[in-house]
Amino acid sequence: MKIYEQSNILKSLPEQFFASLVSKVSKYADKGFDIINLGQGNPDQPTPPHIVQSLQKAADNPLNHKYSPFTGYDYIKEAIAAFYQKEYGVNLNPKTEVAVLFGGKAGLVEIPQCLLNPGDTVLVPDPGYPDYLSGVAMASAVMAKMPLLEENAFLPDYEKIPDDILQKAKLMFLNYPNNPTGAIATEDFFQKTVQISKDNDICIVHDFAYGAIGFDGRKPISFLQTPGAKEIGVEIYTLSKTFNMAGWRVGFAVGNPSVVSALNLYQDHLYVSLFGAVQEAAATALTSSLACVQELNTLYEKRRNVFVDGLKEIGWNVKAPAGSFFAWLKVPEGFTSEQFSDYLLEKAHIAVAPGIGFGEYGEGYVRAGLLTSEERLIEAVNRLKKMPLFT
């Protein structure tokens, strides 16, 4: 059998770190162990019934059996604009400031290829979502890390970025509420971000995947709510987390028209837009009552409280996340993040994601997802309580 060599682009892609985690978890599960999997980022609740029913009805429409318009139907872009106006008070032109995406991940990987040339510099948060690096690699761009440290509330410290890096940078990724740290951004931070962009001509890409998930009465803010933000960047939103539609693969980018236009042009050469019935269901999700979203947020907050309070009771000094559905937990002394993850899997049959998988500055932490029932989270705490870690 002839073996064809992979392209240099494929060879340049970062290793899929979490594929090894999935493999490790599967090996223990295959042996019959009861694994409490807190390492995943896949919502565990079903899509709300009214959205499913909208899809079912739309699937019967012969119009949706044809190719959709390349950039999506007007009605879904109008629904996105209406959603942003209602939720964030942000005015969007649905024709020029909205791009429909095959999930948020697609847009995050595509944007560097839309805007950068080989050798251009990209500012990337560390720790951060690993697929930011995939888009940077595909664009043959150069990555500059922005450390997210606890002493700065897991926000980049722009004053510590060298001037020459800022001047060379053409693109910056941000993500709040943050994966993996659970931190949220402030108005002041976003104002500083807009100024940094204007001073250095940097396009800002804000990954707002967890925009609907904020705790303690604090609603996460949209980057586009910041004066001037729409002129210098875009925000990428996905329905995966807000409406438990991860498998539906639908998201959007909103903001600067030139970036939206570039995304649409790039996608014209890859796709013929989303299945029309999915677009109808997405429009239903965005324009219907958001009571289901509020209920989901309450569910995650209850889980967070049960889990974090339980960990504190057994002596683990952890901080509750302010947003997202992840907890960012300091590793006990004597372990690396990967060693501790392996230890928990082997001894307690609990899977967590090692922080090093999110970047150099993720070392010393593990990420635990709140994507299982309160009962299972309590069981995880009870298993940890029996281990000689915090006594």
Greatest alpha-carbon span in the chain: 64
Residue 32's pLDDT is what?
A: 87
Over residues 290-319, the mean pLDDT reads 96
Residue 391's pLDDT is what?
A: 64
Residues in CB range of 142: below 8 A, 6 or more apart: 119, 120, 121, 122, 136
Handedness of CA 41, 44, 50, 56 (dihedral sign): positive
> In whole numbers, what is the pLDDT of the chain averaged over residues?
95
Residue 323: DSSP 8-state:
B
Beta bridge partners of 204: 172, 233
Is-cis flag, bond preceding 180, omega within 30? yes
**Residue 108: band (very low, low, confident or very high) from pLDDT cuts 50, 70, 90:** very high
**What's this model's pTM, rounded to 2 decimal places?**
0.96
Residue 41's pLDDT is what?
A: 87
**Cα-flanking dihedrals φ and ψ of residue 253, to 5°?**
-115, 135
Residue 378's pLDDT is what?
A: 97
pLDDT digits (tens, 9 = 90+) for 52-105: 999 999 999 999 999 999 999 999 999 999 999 999 999 999 999 999 999 999
In this predicted structure, which of 29-38, 52-61, 82-91, 187-196 has the lowest mean pLDDT?
29-38
Strands 203-207 and 142-147: unpaired
Burial (CB count <10 Å: 0-12, 13-18, 19+), residue 162: exposed
Q: Cβ(143)–Cβ(133) under 8 Å? A: yes
| 8-46+291-385 under CATH 3.90.1150.10, yes or no | yes
Q: Cβ(102)–Cβ(121) under 8 Å? A: no
Over residues 255-283, the mean pLDDT reads 96
CATH class of 49-287: alpha beta
Q: Which residue carries 């897991």 as its tokens?
A: 154
Domain boundaries, given as residue ranges, for the chain: 8-46+291-385, 49-287
**Residue 40: band (very low, low, confident or very high) from pLDDT cuts 50, 70, 90:** confident
What's the rounded Cα separation, in Å, for the pair 383 and 33?
13
pLDDT digits (tens, 9 = 90+) for 127-137: 999 999 999 99
**H or E stretch covering 372:** none
Residue 357's pLDDT is what?
A: 93
Percent of the chain whose predicted confidence (pLDDT) is above 70: 100
**H or E stretch covering 186:** none
